[in-house]
């Protein structure tokens, strides 16, 4: 209870401070009342959803997600506005103190500058505020197909120009627009790749979240099959369960559901993709993540019967596994496919110019293709969304990778 009181007091203080910018920057009183009304509604909805809303154990339910999204947008607006006004208030305080010490009684007040700064603060703050709202309305389903050509000297010749489609982090429990998801599934199939890989996090918490979507995702197809692995959210570790047996049953239900949708689920196992006399080893591990994330992945068990000379593709949900284990493993893993980071669903990407997201401070390899020690990884930005119910700048991704043998055209 105490933390909610402290949070409410801080939030209201920030809102009142921001209200001063609105009073200085606009002559229309209705703007003040509109802002204050919205601020109170957003706060009330957020507190209700996280304290007395339905299904309090399901921390990532859609109503809670949207309550958090609207609060995040408004807090961002407040913080940026306050940064400008507080900086000016500090400046005014220092100047006033100087004049007092110097014995100068002249009042230091320039209303014109105050109004200009308020307008500038509100204008700048409105950009991320609008972007976060757009991300909730349109950005989360703004599917992008990203294509890469990767060359390997030891790629079996029969797999030259072999195409892979990768999707990751579906998070079906967050979906709220069937037509958009149908479009995304159709877009995956339109790539007409040779094989399809799904690299974990089918749900947020419970297998039941996927039930309304199984028929739709069963439509996914590829000539050489579709393969999947588990991500950290698939184990149901983030919600309370009445018994461990119930939690285990949930995981088994999800595994069964994936197989019924036509996925070959790899649980620390390997398969071979065969073309004539040539083959590629496909290795799939359970989730292995740095820090407090589940470490069920067993790379040695998964590749125990794989010939070291085989060309190898590894499916591993968390890119920290690649960084901490895979790169320096005695086996050479030519290509690893991961997800997990979502690119934090927020950032700036201009191809060839800039690629930035706050998630880079947590993960060295967070989106796109990287190469270390002659080994590649693709970190998929995710098909769905989680927590904040939107995406800004980091759009939902369908990856298409074409394998090339060096020297062939």
pLDDT 10s digits, 359-404: 999 999 999 999 999 999 999 999 999 999 999 999 999 999 999 9
395 versus 114: which is more confidently predicted?
Answer: 395
Which of 53-57, 65-69, 210-214, 405-409 has the highest average model confidence (pLDDT)?
Answer: 210-214
Residue with tokens 């920030």: 14
Three-state DSSP class for 367? coil
- State the Rg of the chain over Cα: 26
Tokens of 380: 């998929």
CA quadruple 380, 383, 384, 389: dihedral, nearest 10: 80
The pLDDT value given to residue 268: 98
> Which of 80, 67, 92 is CA-nearest to residue 18?
80
Least confident range from 64-68, 197-201, 286-290, 333-337: namely 64-68
Q: Given this model, what pLDDT does residue 231 score?
A: 98
- Interval 136-171: pLDDT, tens: 999 999 999 999 999 999 999 999 999 999 999 999
- Taking residues 208-237, report their average pLDDT: 97
Backbone angles phi, psi at 362, to 5 degrees: -105, -35
Res. 335 pLDDT band, cuts 50 70 90: very high
Please give the pLDDT value at position 28.
Answer: 75
> What distance in Å separates the CA atoms of residue 373 and residue 71, rounded to the nearest whole number?
44
* pLDDT in the model for residue 57: 44
- Spans of all domains in the chain: 2-137, 143-405
- In which residue are the tokens 């009330």 written? 44
Mean pLDDT on 105-109? 53
The mean pLDDT of 217-240, rounded to a whole number, is: 97
In this prediction, residue 114 has a pLDDT band, given cuts at 50, 70 and 90, of: low
Nearest C-alpha neighbor of 377 from the set 137, 116, 199, 124: 199
Above 60 in pLDDT, residue 106?
no
**Assigned CATH topology for domain 143-405:** Purple Acid Phosphatase; chain A, domain 2 (3.60.21)
pLDDT tens by residue, 18-63: 887 777 767 777 787 888 898 999 999 888 888 875 554 445 677 8
Q: How far is the C-alpha of 138 from the C-alpha of 177, rounded, in Å? A: 11
Among 120-129, 174-183, 357-366, the least confident range: 120-129
pLDDT at 56: 45
Q: What is the pLDDT of residue 190?
A: 98
**Residue 351 to residue 170: CA distance in whole angstroms:** 24
pLDDT of 201 higher than 60: yes
Name the percent of the chain lying above pLDDT 70.
92
- The answer to whether residue 1 scores a pLDDT higher than 50 is yes
Q: Is pLDDT at 90 greater than 90 in this prediction? A: no
Token pair in block for residue 183: 């479009």
């Amino acid at each position: 209870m105490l933390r909610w009181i402290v949070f409410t007091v801080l939030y209201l203080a920030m809102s009142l401070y921001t209200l001063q910018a609105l009073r200085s920057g606009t002559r229309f009183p209705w703007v003040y009342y509109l802002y204050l009304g919205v601020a109170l509604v957003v706060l009330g909805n957020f507190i209700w959803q996280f304290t007395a809303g339905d299904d309090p154990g399901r921390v990532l339910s859609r109503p809670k997600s949207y309550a958090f999204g609207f609060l995040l947008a408004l807090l961002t607006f407040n913080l940026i506005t306050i940064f400008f006004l507080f900086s000016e208030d500090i400046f005014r305080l220092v100047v006033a103190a100087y004049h007092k010490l110097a014995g100068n009684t002249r009042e230091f007040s320039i209303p014109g500058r105050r109004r200009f700064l308020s307008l500038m603060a509100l204008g700048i703050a409105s950009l991320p505020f609008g972007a976060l709202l757009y991300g909730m309305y349109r950005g989360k389903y703004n599917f992008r197909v990203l294509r890469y050509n990767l060359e390997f000297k030891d790629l079996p010749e029969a797999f030259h120009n072999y195409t892979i489609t990768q999707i990751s982090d579906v998070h079906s429990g967050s979906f709220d627009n069937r037509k958009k998801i149908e479009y995304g599934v159709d877009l995956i199939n339109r790539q007409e790749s040779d094989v399809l890989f799904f690299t974990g996090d089918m749900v947020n918490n419970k297998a039941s979240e996927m039930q309304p979507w199984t028929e739709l995702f069963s439509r996914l197809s590829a000539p050489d099959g579709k393969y999947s692995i588990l991500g950290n959210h698939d184990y149901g570790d983030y919600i309370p369960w009445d018994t461990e047996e119930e939690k285990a049953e949930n995981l088994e239900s999800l595994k069964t559901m994936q197989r019924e949708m036509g996925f070959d689920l790899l649980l620390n196992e390997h398969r071979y993709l065969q073309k004539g006399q040539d083959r590629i080893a496909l290795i799939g591990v359970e989730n292995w993540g740095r820090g407090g994330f589940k470490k069920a992945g067993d790379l040695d068990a998964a590749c125990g019967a794989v010939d070291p000379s085989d060309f190898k593709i590894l499916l591993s949900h968390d890119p920290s596994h690649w960084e901490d284990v895979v790169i320096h493993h005695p086996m050479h893993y030519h290509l690893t496919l991961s997800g997990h980071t979502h690119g934090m669903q927020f950032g700036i990407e201009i191809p060839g110019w800039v690629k930035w997201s706050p998630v880079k401070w947590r993960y060295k390899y967070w989106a796109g293709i990287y190469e270390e020690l002659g080994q590649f990884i693709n970190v998929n930005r995710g098909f769905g969304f989680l927590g904040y119910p939107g995406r800004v700048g980091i759009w939902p991704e369908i990856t298409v990778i074409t394998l090339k043998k060096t020297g062939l055209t």
